[in-house]
Amino acid sequence: MTKSKIAAVSINTTPLDVLGNFETIRRAILSKDSQDADLILFPELSISGYGCEDAFYRPNLWEKCLQVLHQLKTNSPNQVIVVGLPVFVDAFLYNCMAVLYDGKIQAFVPKLNLANTGVHYEKRWFHAPNGFQTKQVRVDGEVVPFGHFVFSFRDFRFAIEICEDSWASMKPSETYNVNGTDVILSPGASHFAMGKQNIRRQIFQETSRNQNNLQVFTNLCGNESGRIIFEGGAFFASCGNVVKEGPRLHFTPFEVTSLSFDPNEIRASKARNFREPNPNFVPNQLPTLEFNPNKQVTNGNGRLKVHDKREMGIDASIENKEALSPFEEFTKAVCLGLYDYLRKSKTKGYTLSLSGGADSATCALLVSCMAEMARKENGKDNLTKQGISDKNLLVTLYQKTKNNSQITEEIAKTLSEELDCEFHSISIDEMVSSSVSLIESVTGTKLNWQEHDLALQNIQARVRSPLIWLLANLNGHLLLSTGNRSEAAVGYTTMDGDSSGSIAPLAGVSKEFLLDLLDDIQKGNNRYITPKHSIQLLRETKPTAELKPLAEHQEDEKDLMPYPILNSIERKLVYLGVNESEVLEGLKSEFPWETKEQLLAYIQKFKKLFGISQWKRERLPPSFHLDDYGLDPKSSYRFPILSNET
| Rounded Cα distance, 60 and 462, in Å | 44
> Residue 487, annotated ligand binder?
yes
Confirm whether 369 is a catalytic residue: no
Q: Which residues are CB-neighbours of 515 under 8 A, at least 6 positions away?
A: 358, 539, 543, 563
Residue 216 β-bridge partners: 185, 236
Neighbours of 380 (CB within 10 A): 10
| Rounded Cα distance, 347 and 331, in Å | 22
| Rounded Cα distance, 531 and 371, in Å | 17
Confirm whether 391 is a catalytic residue: no
Q: Which residues are CB-neighbours of 76 under 8 A, at least 6 positions away?
A: 29, 30, 40
DSSP tag of 147: E
CA 404 to chain centre: 36
Confirm whether 111 is a catalytic residue: yes
H/E stretch holding 515 reads helix 511-522
DSSP tag of 80: E
N-term to C-term CA, the chain: 69
> For the chain, how long is the longest CA-to-CA vector?
92
Active-site residue (options: 52, 65, 96, 163): 163
Q: Which residues are CB-neighbours of 144 under 8 A, at least 6 positions away?
A: 105, 106, 107, 108, 136, 137, 138
| Rounded Cα distance, 235 and 41, in Å | 11
Active-site residue (options: 64, 73, 111, 332): 111
Distances (CA, A) of 296 to 99, 102, 292, 302, 596: 20, 11, 11, 17, 77
Q: How is 582-631 classified by DSSP, letter by letter?
A: HHHHHHHHH-TTS-HHHHHHHHHHHHHHHHHTHHHHHHSPPB-B-SS---
Cis peptide before 279 (omega within 30 of 0): yes
Q: Which residues are CB-neighbours of 593 under 8 A, at least 6 positions away?
A: none
What is the crossing angle of helices 453-475 and 429-443, to 10°? Answer: 130
Of 582, 594, 574, 592, nearest in space to 639 by CA: 574
Residue type, 167: W
> Residue 190, annotated ligand binder?
yes
Distances (CA, A) of 148 to 48, 111, 165: 22, 9, 12
> Residue 196, annotated ligand binder?
yes
E-only strand ranges, 386-523: 394-400, 422-427, 478-479
Of 487, 477, 457, 448, nearest in space to 567 by CA: 487
> Residue 616, annotated ligand binder?
yes
Count of positions (residues) in the chain: 646
Of 506, 183, 572, 492, nearest in space to 361 by CA: 506
Q: Which residues are CB-neighbours of 169 under 8 A, at least 6 positions away?
A: none
Q: Which residues are CB-neighbours of 472 under 8 A, at least 6 positions away?
A: 351, 395, 478, 479, 502
Catalogue the active-site residues. Answer: 44, 111, 163
Residues that constitute the known binding site: 190, 196, 458, 482, 487, 616
| Known binding residues for L-glutamine | 190, 196
